[in-house]
């Protein structure tokens, strides 16, 4: 069902696949035999979990605290879901491996999360497009990457899952893009702001060096200066 094709030399390819495989074996909730699934069925197992799992778990809990609860690994049904941080860590690991294998200029897009290194062949920065939340077939805005903004993540209501339902009110965000120095910060804060709204936006942008483009259901937008025309 899955077809994987990677263009780098065999060593790089195998290293990236190996890193993903390890993360998937431990953290995938789609695998019944993963550590994450076992803990999902019995949360008391966290106490005796692997160092790798506990490290990821406490990372997620730290983000819970930092976002005032807007980001949380605790699903309403009680299952611990670390996918928010695991995804970012996987992308970071892939990026580290690319660099370790001598690739300096690249643009990695993993399920919509973007991490870049260096620049394009022309010397221009990697430029990241953002879709129009009202017409997802159209590009709306963009941001040029640079040190401090090498990672871009976008959260939308479509990605929040079928389990989450909320009433769209006039000041509810329907799409949030965050540009940051690292992909975990970008990813977590995009998710947090989408869920927590303006209050969360104002809380986190005081504490983190990020650019934000957030659009609300009523058509208003909160945008950092880099996104202004």
Partner 1 sequence: MSTRAKVAAVIASAGVLGAGWAVGTANGATVATTTTGTTATTATTATTATTTSGTTTKTTSGSTTYKDGTYTGTTVTHRYGSVTVTVTISGGKITNVSAQAVDGGDRRSQSINSQAVPMMKTEVLSANSAKVSTISGATYTTTAYITSLQSALAKA
Residues 32-61 that bind partner 1 (CB under 8 A): none
Neighbours of 98 (CB within 10 A): 20
Question: In sequence order, what are the residues at sequence separation of 6 or more whose Cβ sits closer than 8 angstroms to the Cβ of residue 36?
Answer: 26, 27, 28, 29, 53, 80, 82
Which residues in 78-97 contact partner 1 (CB under 8 A)?
A: 83, 86-87, 90-91, 93-97
Rounded to whole angstroms, how far apart are CA atoms 213 and 173? Answer: 10
Query: Could you give the string, one character per residue 98-117, with x where binding to partner 1 holds by CB under 8 A and - elsewhere?
Result: xxx-xxxxxxxxxxxxx-xx
According to DSSP, residue 158 is labeled G
Which SS3 state, helix, strand or coil, does residue 117 take? strand
Rounded to 5 degrees, φ, ψ at 45 are -70, -10
Q: How far is the CB of 196 from partner 1 (least distance, A)?
A: 14
- Give the number of residues in contact with partner 1, rule: CB under 8 A: 103
Which residues in 175-194 contact partner 1 (CB under 8 A)?
A: 175, 177, 181
* 68 is a site residue for partner 1 (CB under 8 A): no
Stretch that binds partner 1, among 16-24, 41-49, 60-68, 72-80 (CB under 8 A): 16-24
* 207 is a site residue for partner 1 (CB under 8 A): no
């Amino acid at each position: 069902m899955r077809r994987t094709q990677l263009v780098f030399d065999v060593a790089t390819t195998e290293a990236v696949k190996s890193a993903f495989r390890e993360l998937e074996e431990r953290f995938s909730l789609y695998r019944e035999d993963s550590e994450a699934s076992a803990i999902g069925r019995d949360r008391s197992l966290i106490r005796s979990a692997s160092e790798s799992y506990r490290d990821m778990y406490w990372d997620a809990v730290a983000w819970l605290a930092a976002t005032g609860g807007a980001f949380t690994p605790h699903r309403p049904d009680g299952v611990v879901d670390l996918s928010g941080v695991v995804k970012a860590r996987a992308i970071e690991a892939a990026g580290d491996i690319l660099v370790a294998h001598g690739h300096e200029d690249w643009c990695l897009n993993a399920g919509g999360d973007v991490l870049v290194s260096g620049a394009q062949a022309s010397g221009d920065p990697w430029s990241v497009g953002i879709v129009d939340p009202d017409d997802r077939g159209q590009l709306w805005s963009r941001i040029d990457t640079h040190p401090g903004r090498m990672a871009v993540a976008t959260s939308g209501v479509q990605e929040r899952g079928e389990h989450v339902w909320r009433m769209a009110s006039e000041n509810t965000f329907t799409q949030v893009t965050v540009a940051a120095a690292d992909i975990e910060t970008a990813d977590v804060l995009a998710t947090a702001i989408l869920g927590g709204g303006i209050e969360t936006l104002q809380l986190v942008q005081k504490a983190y060096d990020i650019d934000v483009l957030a659009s609300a259901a009523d058509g208003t937008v909160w945008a950092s200066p880099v996104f202004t025309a």
